Structure 1
């Protein structure tokens, strides 16, 4: 059972990462590389897609558990983690955790930026 789950998520992840690369190539070709159009595009598309996936899963029960794993965790997870971040925010707002939501958003952005700078800094020291 665990192997099946890993293969389902891994296959979705494989397709999501290839799709992300394809979108990045297309956006660079269309709009150039002076702005991170590829990242912005996959983040918005991924957020929309994960909303559709969860909407179908909750409202209509059209997606099996395996399909949710494949699409939401596998595909969207490798296409962009921003989609999961956005969905988490909506879930927190829906449960009325506004302070936690604000802390999560601010913390994710600020700590994420700090982590990137720290990672870059490690190689500047070497």
Structure 2
């Protein structure tokens, strides 16, 4: 009986650890998406923009392992879903500055989206199937 309880405990611990690691990868890849979104859209606003921010390299180099092809899929997904975030707010809005934008707000909304989370979960599933 004690052996059975021990093995069940080991199984539950390893399952919990695996779930925790996957959850952390999702969180970090969402952070990567947020960083890419902000940097890409500010670069569109000002082509000379150079943030000197190495968040993206840190996340995919030191924290998360993901295949090159899936990283490219993620980058394309980010670009495709955030490519217009730099555009000014429609003139119907009551802002004094005609060049006002909502890059950060829109990128945070994208970061929190179910669509991004689902896409990342599917990428991680693909990577684990390899």
TM-score w.r.t. the length of structure 2 is: 0.38
TM-score w.r.t. the length of structure 1 is: 0.39
Structure whose residues are more often helix by fraction: 1
